[in-house]
Structure 1
Amino acid sequence: MLHLTSPVSTSSSQTIRPFAAASLYGIAQRGRHLLAIDARTGYLFEIDPIDGSMRVLNTHNATDFLDTTGIAIAGNTLWFTQHESVCFCSLEGDLKPQLFTTLPYAADGITVWETAIYVSCNGTDSIHVFSSNTRKEITRLLAPGIGREHLTIRGEELWVSDRTEQTVFCLDRATGEIDFSVLTPFPCPTGLAFFTDPNTGREQLYVAYTFEEPFIRDNPNATPNHEIQYRDAAFIHPLYVCYEPERRYTRSNGFLVEMSYVEEIAPLDAIDLTDLEWRIALPAETHRQKLHSVEPIGIPFAEEIIDGQRVAVFNIERLTTNDRFVFGWKALLEVWSIKYQFEPRDGDRVPELDPELRNRYTLDDDELAMDTDIIRRAAVDAPGDETNLLRRMYNIRNFVYDKLAYGIKPQIDPPDVVIRRGVASCGEYLGLLLAIARLNGIASRTVGRYKCPQQPHARNVPLEPDFNHVWMEFYLPGWGWLPMESNPDDINEGGPYPTRFFMGLAWYHAEMAKGIPFETICSRGERLTKEVVAIGELAINHVRFVVLDELIPNPEPK
């Protein structure tokens, strides 16, 4: 089990929300403070991260800093990016900007190391390095992600946050090679900086976030008076990073979460079932998820192990049309974001797949239409000529993303129907991914079942997801199962696609039912298929999450 420190609460002293902040881009440390720039208002905030107090430094010329997207500090000089320009000014004077150089496309993030000025540019997919003495470009580094990126330096490390990837990368400052990457707990990171507490000497990585969030507005002039609107979310939050190179993964900000899954019996049609066994999978134990406790709701359950997965079994002697039951389980979980640190070369010359895995996870055991011509052609086209397992899986994912667009359907259709239609739910994305991967000899399985609503600041408040969700795991021989999301990375028509959830999962994924059905019912020892009676026709499910605390990851014991 993971040894926990005392839980770290997301208090006001840790999540920094500057007053009047609308669009925070770029942060940097200066002495006892963090400086942060607001691209929309031009405000240059000076913030005490210990108590959250703040003031605006450029009260007389905030308009000179409109649309600034990145800042860095070297001595008493403030460096910043604005449109295609790289500028600087003195922090001791009137903060009057001076032009350093211009780029062919918009400059995003900036950081400084001695006489080297690092500038990220999404238009060139590069991090440009300039000499502050000559103002000439020294070299370029390849940008690690596909989105707009922001920069900071710590020693020999260049740290990069990517807005689209929801990821922070740690690069070698000289070569640009990725040492490791880590998922952020919130979407749209727009700046990062290391801050050393002058009182304790403790170093903490802070990340800025900027996005729009929905809220319910009480509008007295409307009927009805409650309406959905969007507002700015701009704040700074600690990013806790635990890199374990021997285990080949990083974990970041975790949360202590209470999850409940409950069925409410409410039959749609006349029924009479005896000796009913209702099985519901329990949360799994993984590198990123720990089950602290589980207890029954409504009626007690027995526990079974099915293919290594814990399953709750509820027994009901007789269920008729007029009977009503409410039953399920409540679990206390710790959940983390995880990103596995495998490189393409790790997919070369992998060991042979174990026969047991091949027989179970490369066959059509779930109406995957693997014998149809259209799916067999897709299985040939998707990986191309690639022989590397990781690259093949990556190509398969991108092929499916090219073929499909996301849309909710009332039922799950087989992959041959889905690929012709071109619109798919998460389960249909998954079916096509499984079919193509298995036809290519890559063991793969279904994982799910729910995602906690992404509101980690809402503590002790019931949060109910609107949908269930499924994703997949594929097997890397010599290592084990690796996660891959079904559809959330399919965000750009025709690509490029982010890789945040390729071998990675966010904290809000609740893992259960790995390779087994999430829920089944048996009567008199015989499993009831959906053709006989569907679970959805017997009961209404209730799913609830409650975020209790934020946790700091510690290295797992060896």
Structure 2
Amino acid sequence: MFSQRTIRPLSAAALCGIAFIEDTLIAIDTPKGHLLQIDPISDNTKILNSHQVREFRDVTGLAVWSDTLWVTRDNSVYLCNLNSLGLEHFATLPYPADGVAVWESTVYVSCQKLGCILIFDRDTRKEITRFYAPGVGVENLVVSEETLWVSDTIEQTVYCIDRATGEVQFSVLTPFACPTGIALHKNGETGEETLFVAYASEEPYIRDNPNADPNYELTYRDRTFIHPLYYHYDPDKRCALSNGYLIEMSYAEEISPLEEVYLQDVEWRIALPSETDRQKVKHIEPIGLPFTEEEKDGQRVAVFKLDTLTPGERHIFGWKALLEVRGIKYRITPKDVEDIPEELPFQGRYLVDDDDLAMDTTIVRRAARDAVASETNLLRKMYNIRNYVYDELSYGIKPYIDTPDIVLERGVGSCGEYVGVLLALCRLNDIPCRTVGRYKCPPLGEHKDVPLQPDFNHVWLEFYIPNFGWLPMESNPDDIGDRGPYPTRFFMGLCWYHIEIGKGITFESLSSKGTRLTKEDVAIGDLAINHIQFTILEELPPF
């Protein structure tokens, strides 16, 4: 069985279109023009077009129906017999043709520049109709029975589309970035279908160069592979779960003050991982010192107690958690939220300025009005606010977080500052929202049993829709261009490497003799060094 392994064909640089012929996988290595036959069990690879490499160079889409191979190259769609591989012109688009899929006499072709999926009749070679493309990136296609599956490079998403109407049924986040091809394998014995997705990108690595001094240098290399995509769609919750991993996460503080302090009756609180639809907490244990556990607003918090903290005293304390985490993507449309109640919950908390959000300043209030204009639908308002913030801000790392008024005036913000602006604009528009974080596991699913350390902490937010509950939204990762169009992969979605800790509460706090200390009293960052480590233990089995 190969439905649970990563396929890594030797010598491939960038795989795009892929397809199955029974249990044999064929794929196009786009920059080389190699049409590859791949054994998905052994990764053994053979070039099928040894004498037609030039004709297949820059092919992006690939499909097989019966004994006919279909490909896209530049603006055109071609077909050929699998045995002869002599390309015959089928149709030409005004812009580059990206992906192709065939079902009987119907041919589907995706085109990013047109923003459409075009449907042709194979016999007449005429366009029948077209659908709007569901994402903003380059898309590849595969079709089965009544379903058209669409992978999108920028959206990091696979869409399930009704092939008769073009309506998106649900979407699934892929476990890796930059999906470039998609294929469907049908088990001949059980009839079970499994999606496989090709990925192609570059990865940085440290090269040992004997001719340089120093001999280690940073460079890049091609990274391409094929991996099964697992998913489970829950129509009641309107969400789809996808590939996940069993992860061990450790968070520990090492007392190492910049200036020695003396504190009595110390209580050091650190939020614990949350239990959610996509994240299951299997086990938690203390590191260094024992802790008691308390609950705050439905979130678990570890409480470490010290009778005194004296000058020269040193401790390491924290927690280690075993987590099952998966990707999640919600499919909720503006039409679904037309009849929500006017009186929203959480009026007293998630609609007020409780975290230096500068909601009473002129620039923030004006931004809140401009962002939604005359829109009244809650989901469209949320979408407009996100796009407005992405238009106004560019991403930049800073050692501290400024208030939203300063951030809007400056036009540059960190992830925490993006969240602050989003919170302020949402709450001023009567959309309940809260902060979530605190870390992301380095997204290296193939690096199992290797300690991984994130470079930065991270925060995002959740907004509340009555009848649906709290929905996630990333702070800045989807702000990838200038003035859009912006992807929506993390709008109501999170990938497996997001670790949800302390929803809507402070991640870490310190108190002495029953009084909570502010950063003006004693800043936690001046008192201790945090140590965060992830270990990916295994990929979770299919659903």
Which TM bucket (shorter chain)?
A: over 0.9
SS of the equivalent of 2:452 reads: coil
Residue 52 of structure 1: CA displacement?
Answer: 2.7
Equivalent of 2:409 in 406, 420, 433: 420
Residue 510 of structure 1: CA displacement?
Answer: 0.2
Residue 199 of structure 1: CA displacement?
Answer: 5.0
Q: Does 1:262 align with 2:263?
A: no
CA distance in structure 1 between the partners assigned to 2:453 and 2:493 by the alignment: 23
Residue 518 of structure 1: CA displacement?
Answer: 0.1
Q: Does 1:202 align with 2:161?
A: no
Structure 2 letter corresponding to 1:207:
V
SS of the equivalent of 1:361 reads: coil
CA distance in structure 2 between the partners assigned to 1:120 and 1:162 by the alignment: 10
CA distance in structure 2 between the partners assigned to 1:250 and 1:134 by the alignment: 38
Which stretches of structure 1, 4 residues or more, deviate above 6 A after TM superposition? none
Q: Alpha-carbon deviations, 1:313-356, whole Å to 9, x = none?
A: 0111111231111110000000000001111112212123445x
Q: 2:379: which partner in 1?
A: 390
Q: Does 1:326 align with 2:291?
A: no
Equivalent of 1:90 in 48, 64, 81: 81
Query: Any residues of structure 2 matched to 1:145-544 within 5 Å, and which?
Result: 145-198=135-188, 200-355=190-345, 357-544=346-533
Residue 39 of structure 1: CA displacement?
Answer: 0.5
Structure 1 letter corresponding to 2:93:
L
Contact 1:251-1:553 within 8 A present in 2 as well: no
Residue 553 of structure 1: CA displacement?
Answer: 5.1
Which stretches in structure 1 are left out of the alignment for 5+ residues? 1-7
SS of the equivalent of 1:318 reads: strand
CA distance in structure 1 between the partners assigned to 2:78 and 2:218 by the alignment: 40
Contact 2:392-2:408 within 8 A present in 1 as well: yes
Q: Alpha-carbon deviations, 1:114-143, whole Å to 9, x = none?
A: 111110000100011111111111111110
Residue 12 of structure 1: CA displacement?
Answer: 11
CA distance in structure 1 between the partners assigned to 2:248 and 2:343 by the alignment: 37
Q: Alpha-carbon deviations, 1:396-449, whole Å to 9, x = none?
A: 000000000000011100000000000000000000000000000100000000
Query: Any residues of structure 2 matched to 1:12-91 within 5 Å, and which?
Result: 14-91=5-82
Which stretches in structure 2 are left out of the alignment for 5+ residues? none
Q: Does 1:133 align with 2:155?
A: no
CA distance in structure 1 between the partners assigned to 2:212 and 2:318 by the alignment: 40
CA distance in structure 1 between the partners assigned to 2:234 and 2:344 by the alignment: 27
SS of the equivalent of 2:347 reads: helix
Structure 2 letter corresponding to 1:153:
V
CA distance in structure 2 between the partners assigned to 1:488 and 1:458 by the alignment: 23
CA distance in structure 1 between the partners assigned to 2:300 and 2:4 by the alignment: 39
TM-score by length of 2: 0.98
TM-score by length of 1: 0.96
Residues 375 and 156 of structure 1: CA distance in aligned 2, closer, same or farther (over 3 Å): same
SS of the equivalent of 1:456 reads: coil
SS of the equivalent of 2:372 reads: coil
Q: 1:4: which partner in 2?
A: none
Contact 1:13-1:52 within 8 A present in 2 as well: no
Contact 2:151-2:179 within 8 A present in 1 as well: yes
SS of the equivalent of 1:258 reads: strand
Residues 348 and 433 of structure 1: CA distance in aligned 2, closer, same or farther (over 3 Å): same
Contact 2:10-2:43 within 8 A present in 1 as well: no
Residue 79 of structure 1: CA displacement?
Answer: 0.5
CA distance in structure 2 between the partners assigned to 1:141 and 1:234 by the alignment: 29
Structure 1 letter corresponding to 2:431:
I
Q: 1:3: which partner in 2?
A: none
Contact 2:103-2:144 within 8 A present in 1 as well: no
Identity %: 60
CA distance in structure 2 between the partners assigned to 1:130 and 1:74 by the alignment: 15
SS of the equivalent of 1:458 reads: coil
Contact 2:237-2:468 within 8 A present in 1 as well: no
SS of the equivalent of 2:166 reads: coil
CA distance in structure 1 between the partners assigned to 2:204 and 2:310 by the alignment: 43
Structure 1 letter corresponding to 2:525:
G
CA distance in structure 1 between the partners assigned to 2:52 and 2:414 by the alignment: 50
Structure 2 letter corresponding to 1:173:
R
Residues 137 and 114 of structure 1: CA distance in aligned 2, closer, same or farther (over 3 Å): same
Q: 1:5: which partner in 2?
A: none
Residue 50 of structure 1: CA displacement?
Answer: 3.1
CA distance in structure 2 between the partners assigned to 1:52 and 1:211 by the alignment: 19
Q: Alpha-carbon deviations, 1:292-323, whole Å to 9, x = none?
A: 00000001000000111000001111112311
Residue 13 of structure 1: CA displacement?
Answer: 6.8
Structure 1 letter corresponding to 2:186:
T
CA distance in structure 2 between the partners assigned to 1:283 and 1:39 by the alignment: 42
Which stretch shifts more, 11-20 or 357-366? 11-20
Residue 172 of structure 1: CA displacement?
Answer: 0.6
Instruction: State the Cα RMSD in Å.
Output: 1.3
CA distance in structure 2 between the partners assigned to 1:319 and 1:96 by the alignment: 79
Which stretch shifts more, 425-434 or 341-350? 341-350
SS of the equivalent of 2:281 reads: strand
Contact 2:196-2:228 within 8 A present in 1 as well: yes
SS of the equivalent of 2:383 reads: helix
Residue 48 of structure 1: CA displacement?
Answer: 2.3
